A and B are shown apart, each in its own frame.
Chain A
Amino acid sequence: MSVHDFIRERFFPHMWCAGCGHGTILNGLIRAVDELGIRKRNLVMVTGIGCSARISGYVDFHSLHTIHGRALAFATGVKLSRPELHVIVPMGDGDGLSIGGNHFIHAARRNINLTALIMNNRTYGMTGGQFSPLSGLGIKASTAPYDNIDNSFDVVELAKAAGATFVARTTTFHVNQLSDLIKAAIQHKGFSVVEIFTQCPTYFGRKNKLGDAPQMLQTFKERTVPVGSPKKQEDPSLIERGIFVNIERPEYCDEYQKLLERTQEA
């Protein structure tokens, strides 16, 4: 099957800017779903609000475009009522970690079998390039013209600490790893998080003089290393990508089913 069998072609060309990495994530996600051989009718995509959230409109799966930051809450409802469906929840950095920060940590704590993708472009692109909880120190944004003084979250550490049982990170430059990690995340039983660095040349790139989309991708290539690479010891500012956590713990829907069976027997 080709990519075109999984998208709603009538909405193309999509609304993302030229060079926006979100399209590359859509591309990688579709390849992952294709390679896994999951039927479209067994897939649900739930998104919140933002540039990233528009992804649910472009895929030909069951899709829910919900309210800002609450995609995981809606997804939890879908999964609990229909545990046999695969539920994928792509979120932006602001949508997922700021507005939806609480939903994120609690979905991780419950270890509910959802696939959360954090499309991290380090800014609120749709509303004009405000800084987000993942922008980081010293970053320029429309709301931080003289440098951002907020520390950023580390999504991997946050997800680990909150109890996610699969945590990975990659970038839109590493397209083979991108689809492989999404595949592994979908197959994992439990709450899985994949953080994907994606470029916003329109706001984040322009405000911080990072060049055009190809230059921003080059930066992803140069500033990231595979997990456990010796280069990380030499230069601690490099960011690791790969799988950080992959463990088994009781899953929420299973536990709920067991509880139902036990109480109905009594």
Chain B
Amino acid sequence: MAKKKLKQHVINRNWCKGCGICVSVCPKKVLELDELDKALAARPEACITCKLCEKICPDLAIIVETEEVDEEAKPHE
């Protein structure tokens, strides 16, 4: 069965106002604010692609891009 896997977090730094909402709602602490108070995906490997950050961002500045991965390709035991 096809499963969604993270491709990348696309963060529009011109739109981000650094409110920190995305950082506070992320269940896996993937996001941080950088030295300019802009959202940054500091630990993308922990992302579970719940897209909570994308849906709650008041500045429409985050897009969580995903790609399909085929689980059949993995060895099945």
Contact = CB atoms under 8 A, between A and B. Distances in A.
Interface of A: 2-4, 7, 12-14, 16-24, 26-28, 31, 172-173, 175-176, 179, 201, 212-214, 217-218
Given A2-B63, A217-B25, A18 B56 contact: no
B17 A172 contact: no
Contacts of A27: 55-58, 60
Interface residues of B, number: 19
A10 B24 CA distance: 29
20 contacts: A3-B63, A13-B59, A14-B59, A19-B17, A19-B19, A20-B58, A24-B58, A27-B55, A31-B55, A173-B25, A173-B56, A176-B55, A212-B19, A212-B20, A213-B21, A214-B19, A214-B24, A214-B25, A217-B21, A217-B56
Contacts of A179: 55
A218 to B, nearest CB: 8
B57 A213 contact: no
A234 B14 CA distance: 46
B60 A26 contact: yes
A4 to B, nearest CB: 8
Contacts, number: 71
Given A13-B61, A175-B55, A176-B55, 18 more contacts: A2-B63, A12-B60, A13-B14, A13-B15, A16-B58, A18-B19, A19-B17, A19-B58, A20-B58, A23-B57, A27-B57, A175-B52, A201-B19, A213-B19, A214-B20, A214-B25, A217-B56, A218-B24
Contacts of A28: 55
A18 B17 contact: yes
Contacts of A13: 14-15, 17, 59, 61
A98 B69 CA distance: 52
A57 to B, nearest CB: 14
Contact of B56 (A3, A12, A172): A172
Contact of B60 (A3, A176, A217, A218): A3
A172 B55 CA distance: 10
Nearest to A24: B58
Nearest to B18: A18
Interface string B40-59: 00000000000010011111
**Interface centre among B21, B24, B52, by most A CB within 10 Å?**
B21
A241 to B, nearest CB: 16
Contact of B58 (A3, A22, A212, A218): A22
B11 to A, nearest CB: 13
A28 B54 CA distance: 10
A179 B52 CA distance: 12
**Interface centre among A22, A217, A218, by most B CB within 10 Å?**
A217
B51 to A, nearest CB: 9
Nearest to B52: A175
A12 B18 CA distance: 15
B18 to A, nearest CB: 6
